[in-house]
Amino acid sequence: MSATTWGHARHVLAENPVTLAAAGLFTFFVLLALFGPWLAPFDPLASNANAALQPPSTTHWFGTDALGRDILSRTLVAARLDMGIAVSAVVLSFGFGIALGLAAGYYGGWWDTVVVRISDTIMAFPLFVLAMGIVAALGNTVGNIVLATAIINLPFYVRVARAETNIRRNAGFIEAARLSGNSDLRILAVHLFPNILPPAMVQVSLNMGWAILNAAGLSFIGLGVRPPTPEWGILVAEGAQFIVSGEWWVSFFPGAMLMLAVFSFNLLGDALRDIFDPRKRT
């Protein structure tokens, strides 16, 4: 981003304390994803039967699980995997969805019909059930989880891009661009794409939270990342059986991290809309 955009971003964040807090949480999770494995005080895969199900203490801040593994270490390391899955899935769905939606809204005709039908077909299924079916059919690898999450998020970007392009494709500034000799590709990339970014970025923020929940949900029911790999959904699932017997910490801390991550992404949507809206960069 340019210096002007950075200045606008600082203004947007400083104007709303809640948005600033959400940006702080987002930065925290990004840093956690980057440096979590080096911050972990113990090996997240190392078990110790003598330290099984110990409550939080000065040695194990988040306690230990049924195999004596340090929950803090496993929670920190899991941030990279969960954030990686969410970012990869959203980048894929954003790229393909915006491109398809732009083309459908701009050209119309049979292309618009095909894109809309594909989008409607995906939306006809309960999205989490569709993700379950894709992962079950292809296998529960990280790549397939990313693919399934990207597919169920694709229609959101198609609809946003198509609707915004339909509104603006005959606008005065688009007609002026055509008369100036701009190609269709340049009109789509330079004149239309920046104007659909504000609502698209809100969708990105929401989809990041949904992508993390989707990955955690698949892992919770056994269709996601395979144990003993640290992942927030797996950690919550492993601790769920111990809540009744009083070992609440096994699932509480991973669940709290998952909740905070989704919470921060949901709150960040309005800020991203204002930052990327070209009409507000004054």
- Please enumerate in sequence order all residues whose Cβ is within 8 A of that of 38, keeping only pairs 6 or more positions apart, or say none: none
| pLDDT score for 10 | 65
The pLDDT, as a whole number, for residue 97 is 94
- To the nearest 10 degrees (0 to 180), the angle between helices 71-107 and 249-276 is 30
pLDDT at res. 241:
86
pLDDT value of position 184: 86
pTM: 0.85
Can you give the pLDDT at residue 277? 57
Query: Could you tell me which of 151, 170, 256, 282 has the C-alpha nearest to residue 211?
Result: 151
| Type and span of the H or E element at 52 | none
Q: Which residues of the chain have pLDDT under 70?
A: 1-16, 270-282
H helix runs in the chain, sequence order: 3-15, 17-39, 71-107, 109-123, 127-138, 142-168, 172-179, 184-186, 193-220, 232-240, 249-276
Query: What pLDDT sits at residue 102?
Result: 93
Integer CA distances (angstroms), 70 to 53, 236, 252, 262, in order: 10, 14, 14, 24
Q: What is the b/e burial string over 17-52, where b = at least 16 CB atoms within 10 angstroms of the residue's CB? A: eebbebbebbeebeebbeebeeebebebeeeeeebe
Coil/strand/helix, residue 70: strand
The confidence score (pLDDT) of residue 7 equals: 58
- Break the chain into its structural domains and give their ranges: 3-41+64-280
Q: What's the pLDDT score for residue 99?
A: 94
Domain 3-41+64-280 CATH (choose: 1.10.3720.10, 1.10.260.30, 3.40.50.300, 3.20.20.70): 1.10.3720.10
Given the structure tokens 């698949």, which residue do they identify?
Answer: 218
Measured in whole angstroms, the distance separating CA 9 from the mean position of its chain's CA atoms is: 21
